[in-house]
């Protein structure tokens, strides 16, 4: 286990003995409950027998428990009518409904006004402030996807309630790390030029050269599909999101309290059209899985690796293998969970149902390794946490 992870888990175990059990499960989850099956693509009932409603989600491992945060979806709209739901579990198969962690607001003009778009929430724990920090993608009510903002909220307990802090675009006035004055001037002149049609060779070059980054310099960079990653190697946190009209990924460092951007960011795969970033560390390598950009419809996953979070990032083949692998088994990535204290990882994705959003399904599959040492995701009708711990 990495040194930082060891320290955090020792602190958290001490807190568990001293603290009270929050969001206690009604069901008795025991060691043997690690034999409970995880089945992708099916209805997944919670402790009340209701299909789990936590889409575009992520998992926080804290105090020997897992907390699943995700978008509450209603039956007929993908807009947020409730907020971010939280569930807890000890075995990743049986989940207790902990209620709404972050609620939408009945105040006209409020950033979180009921009917806004609130997507892909992720929660991390900050050991310095002892706060739980939630980041999410926010679109203002009635404005489609044009706001392209991040939102951030904090809580004293994992399950919340979360207090909304603010939303915005990312780092107005700040250029990407390492951009020379000459490159900045070129991006600025491209931003003022008429570039003609998209997808031409000269347009690709202009995106690569940062014309959209320059266009958005004053407002800050657009922030849509997103995740937050705490690197187990050193405890530093990063906000990773689709920017520049979803054409370019940005990886931005977070402040020590994880509630704002540090000021350093890099652009990854300009014009690559990546959404749905999910990331994990294995040894000295960071692996990131993303999707293409086809709305709610599934597409082929992409994979990147780097030795340093700020790059360079190298693109690899689709990590999914087997039948329907070219459509990510009908899903779109949302998160990769590393089981604490192990090098076992779970790929998580959503099968969207835009006509009946609350019926959207989940894909959770173990990450295995190809002969040439790359992550692979293979469909399994069912598997258990015990299987994963025993190498499947």
Which residue's structure tokens are 């409730």?
A: 82
Residue 169 or residue 205: which is nearer to ligand DGJ going by CB? Answer: 169
Binding test (CB under 6 A) with ligand DGJ, winner from 222, 276, 320, 346: 276
**The tokens of 355 are what?**
């006509």
Nearer to ligand DGJ, 214 or 242 (CB): 242
* Stretch (H or E) spanning 376: strand 375-378
What one-character DSSP code corresponds to residue 49? S
Within residues 50-89, the interface with ligand DGJ by CB under 6 A covers 56
Provide φ and ψ at 184, rounded to 5°.
-65, -40
Nearer to ligand DGJ, 235 or 292 (CB): 292
Both structure tokens of 385 = 């946490």
- DSSP track, 316-380: E--SEESTTGGGGGG-EEEEEEEPTTSS-EEEEEEE--TTSGGG-EEEEEEEEE-TTS-EEEE--
One symbol per residue from 205 to 234: x for binding ligand DGJ (CB under 6 A), - otherwise; what is it?
--------------------x---------
Q: What secondary structure does DSSP assign to 116-181, as a single string?
A: SEEEEEEEEEETTTTEEEEEEEEE-TTSTT-S-EEEEEEESSTT-PPEEEEEE-B-TTPPPTT--H
Residue window 118-137: x/- pattern of binding to ligand DGJ, with contact defined by CB under 6 A: -xx-----------------
Closer by beta carbon to ligand DGJ, 57 or else 210 = 57
Output 117 or 187, the one with its CB closest to ligand DGJ.
117
Q: Cβ 276 to ligand DGJ, closest distance in Å?
A: 5
279 versus 388: smaller Cβ distance to ligand DGJ = 279
Of 65 and 120, the one with the shorter C-beta distance to ligand DGJ is: 120
Q: How far is the CB of 156 from ligand DGJ (least distance, A)?
A: 28
Distances (CA, A) of 247 to 79, 201, 212, 269: 23, 15, 9, 8
| Residue 83 C-beta: closest distance to ligand DGJ, Å | 16
Q: How many helices (H) and strands (E) does the chain have?
A: 5, 23
When the beta carbons of 346 and 360 are compared against ligand DGJ, the nearer one is 360
Of residues 295 and 323, the one with the C-beta less far from ligand DGJ = 295
295 to 324, contacts with ligand DGJ by CB under 6 A?
295-296
Number of residues that bind ligand DGJ (CB under 6 A): 9
Contact 382, 362 (CB under 8 A): no
Backbone angles phi, psi at 357, to 5 degrees: -55, -35
Are the C-beta atoms of residues 101 and 84 closer than 8 Å to each other?
Answer: yes
Contact in structure between 368 and 360 (CB atoms under 8 Å): no
Site of tokens 């014309």: 211
The CB-of-117 to ligand DGJ minimum distance in angstroms stands at: 7
How far is residue 126 from each of residues 65, 75, 229, 232, 236, measured CA to CA in Å? 16, 35, 12, 13, 10
Could you tell me the smallest distance in angstroms from the CB atom of residue 354 to ligand DGJ? 8
Of the two residues 93 and 349, which places its CB atom closer to ligand DGJ in the complex?
349
Contacts (Cβ under 8 Å, ≥6 apart) of 194? none
To ligand DGJ, the closest distance from the beta carbon of 34 in angstroms equals 31
Q: Is residue 178 at the binding interface for ligand DGJ, with CB under 6 A as the rule?
A: no
Quote the least distance from Cβ 324 to ligand DGJ, whole Å: 18
> Shortest distance, CB of residue 295 to ligand DGJ, whole angstroms?
4
User: Token pair 């307990």 is at which residue?
Assistant: 157
**Which residue has the CB atom at the shortest distance from ligand DGJ?**
295
Among 46, 97, 111, 275, interactor with ligand DGJ by CB under 6 A: 275
CB of 299 to ligand DGJ, least distance (A): 10
CB atoms inside a 10 Å sphere around CB 74: 14
For residues 377 and 385, what is the distance between their CA atoms, to the nearest angstrom?
16
Site for ligand DGJ in 326-365 (CB under 6 A): 332
Find the shortest distance in angstroms from Cβ 152 to ligand DGJ: 18
Applying CB under 6 A, the residues found at the interface with ligand DGJ are 56, 119-120, 225, 275-276, 295-296, 332
């Amino acid at each position: 286990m990495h040194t930082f992870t060891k320290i955090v888990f020792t602190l958290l175990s001490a807190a568990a003995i001293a603290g009270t059990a929050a969001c206690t499960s009604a069901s008795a989850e025991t060691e043997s409950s690690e034999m409970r099956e995880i089945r992708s693509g099916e209805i997944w009932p919670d402790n009340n027998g209701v299909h789990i409603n936590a889409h575009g989600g992520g998992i926080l491992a804290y105090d020997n428990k897992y907390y699943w945060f995700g978008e509450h979806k209603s039956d007929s709209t993908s807009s947020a009518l409730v907020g971010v739901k939280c569930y807890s579990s000890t075995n990743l198969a049986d989940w207790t409904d902990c209620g709404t962690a972050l609620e939408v607001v009945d105040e006209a003009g409020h950033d979180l006004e009921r009917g806004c778009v609130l997507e892909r929430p992720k929660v991390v724990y900050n050991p310095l402030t002892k706060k739980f920090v939630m980041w999410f993608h926010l679109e203002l009510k009635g404005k489609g996807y044009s706001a392209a903002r991040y939102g951030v909220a904090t809580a004293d307990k994992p399950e919340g309630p979360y207090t909304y802090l603010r939303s915005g675009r990312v780092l107005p006035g700040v250029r990407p790390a390492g951009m020379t004055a000459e490159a900045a001037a070129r991006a600025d002149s491209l931003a003022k030029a008429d570039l003609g049609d998209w997808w031409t060779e000269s347009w690709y070059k202009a995106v690569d050269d940062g014309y959209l980054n320059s266009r958005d310099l004053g407002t800050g960079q657009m922030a849509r599909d997103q995740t937050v990653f705490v690197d187990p190697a050193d405890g530093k946190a990063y906000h990773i999101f689709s920017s520049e009209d979803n054409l370019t990924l940005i990886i931005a460092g977070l402040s020590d309290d994880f509630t704002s951007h540090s000021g350093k960011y890099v652009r990854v795969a300009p014009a690559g059209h990546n959404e749905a970033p999910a990331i994990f560390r294995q040894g000295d390598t960071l692996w990131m899985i993303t999707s293409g950009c086809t709305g709610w419809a599934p597409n082929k996953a992409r994979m990147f690796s780097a030795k340093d979070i700020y790059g360079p990032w190298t693109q690899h083949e689709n990590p999914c293998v087997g039948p329907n692998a070219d459509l990510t088994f009908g899903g779109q990535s949302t998160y990769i969970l590393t089981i604490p204290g192990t090098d076992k990882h779970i790929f998580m994705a959503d099968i969207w149902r835009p006509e009946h959003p609350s019926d959207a399904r989940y894909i959770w599959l173990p990450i295995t390794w190809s002969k040439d040492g790359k992550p692979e995701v293979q469909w399994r009708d069912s598997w258990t946490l015990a299987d994963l711990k025993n190498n499947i």
